[in-house]
Amino acid sequence: MTYTYKIPRLLVGAPQGRSGKTTITVGLIAALTARGLKVQPFKKGPDFIDPSWLTKVAGRTCRNLDSYLMPREAIRSTFIRHASQSDIAIIEGAMGLFDGVDVQGSGSAAEIAKIVQAPVLLVVNCTRMTRSVAAMVNGFANFDPQVKVGGVILNQVARSRHEKVLRAAVAEYCDVPVLGVMPKGTQFTIPDRHLGLIPAGENEALMDAVKQIGQAAENHLDIDAILQVARDWPTLQEDREISAAVEIHWHRAGDRPAEQQGPRIGVIKDRSFSFYYPENLEALAEAGAQLVQISAIEDAALPALDGLYIGGGFPEVLAEELERNHSFRQHLRQMIEQGLPVYAECGGLMYLGRRIHWEDKSYEMVGALPLDVEMLKKPQGHGYMHLEVLPGTPYFPAGKLVRGHEFHNSRVVDLPKDLTKVGCQFAFRVQRGHGINGEFDGVRYKNVLALYNHIHAVAEPNWASHFVNLARAWQTNRLY
């Protein structure tokens, strides 16, 4: 039996990074939602920050699509599962449209466009460019016959004369319509910091920029024509029905534990720790966990828990507030010493160490792990990772190759040469990437696993069940 899914869709791509993809994507989503349309956003690649903006603007959780981490079938299933209930799906690309991890373009935005059969809306930064825009558009439109460029957005256009020359060049030499012209102006720029854009939830005042971008998109993009490109596309066909995603029911910290509902796994989800793939949280819920949202800044202590998940984020930016919450840090360390299962990624690793050193200041953290973390101006690890699981590591069988990604400006310092003397062990041997020291990633201590690598549950489907099983084992012996 064949199942068909009619999903209007498009991918926003560009010749290169810093062309304005995020600005155009945010503006387009804002303009469409203002018209009352349900927009399902997606982000190509493993990024956390861009999806936070797309989620905020669309009012629907943005999903990551990554052909390097995820199988082709999983990408199509993820796309259909979350896009089929929307009026239109918009995928924000990454880097240049055809840029991947090799000369064949593996892991590129174009590869995603082919997998979900989406037309491309090409965003071209036209700074200091006139007639050459036609050569660029033609090159991208004809480079891969399986990739359809449905229209072009001319970005950073200086003035009306500049626009006329650009439009005329594309009309004369290209079989691709111009579907919008975005004028040059810093008022259309979303602020950023050392790891990219500032997360959407961190500063509500930044939503003013989104409103300006949305209004600019409505004024300067041909929204009706863009919608038509997205709609004039064949249905997606699957030989199986794609099920809906599990719905997460967040429990409050003060709720009384419900034994029959499975182990309680806390998630530190606040301004300091916000990097979580929604599929990771859904996978934990589907495996039987009760998820409890916690704040390391505002909560005085941990609630009754059987496990704890600490994602990435910017603990260095909120380091003073994290340090100030001494009671929470002390209670977390006590629970770790008692054996509470804890899975911590990147920012979570930093938080569980002794101190964070940043901008000539040092801040006390949890102190459960025998290490300090130093913030630097340049990335210390950036890109996809391949990790070989070492014996004794929970969540994964020994010898397994785990894929993920890292993106951090921090490095671990003052780590003992012999971890076994302080009751710790490394969890992974690095085959690609940097991790903690270029050779290893992940520190194990009691039931804690803290690492720089970010995993995605779609790519590592057994991670969640292993985590829940550890929490369930702790649940039988917990002391609340």
Give me the active site residues, please.
Answer: 346
Phi and psi torsions of 110, nearest 5°: -60, -35
The span from the CA of 28 to the CA of 226, in Å, is 9
| Strands 381-389 and 424-432, bridge-based pairing | antiparallel
* Sign of the four-CA dihedral 78, 84, 86, 92: positive
The span from the CA of 166 to the CA of 130, in Å, is 5
Structure-block tokens of residue 162: 């500049």
* Sign of the four-CA dihedral 115, 116, 121, 124: negative
263 forms beta bridges with: none
Closest CA to 64 of 269, 248, 327, 275: 275
HEC string of 26-93? Answer: HHHHHHHHHCCCCEEEEEECCCCHHHHHHHHHHCCCCEEECCCCCCHHHHHHHHHHHHCCCCEEEEEC
Ramachandran assignment for 96, one of left (phi > 0), alpha (psi -120 to 50 degrees), beta (any other): beta
Phi and psi torsions of 71, nearest 5°: -65, 155
The span from the CA of 312 to the CA of 195, in Å, is 12
Structure-block tokens of residue 320: 């003073």
Which residue in this structure is represented by tokens 């300090």?
Answer: 372
The span from the CA of 73 to the CA of 76, in Å, is 5
Residues 382/342, Cβ–Cβ less than 8 Å: no
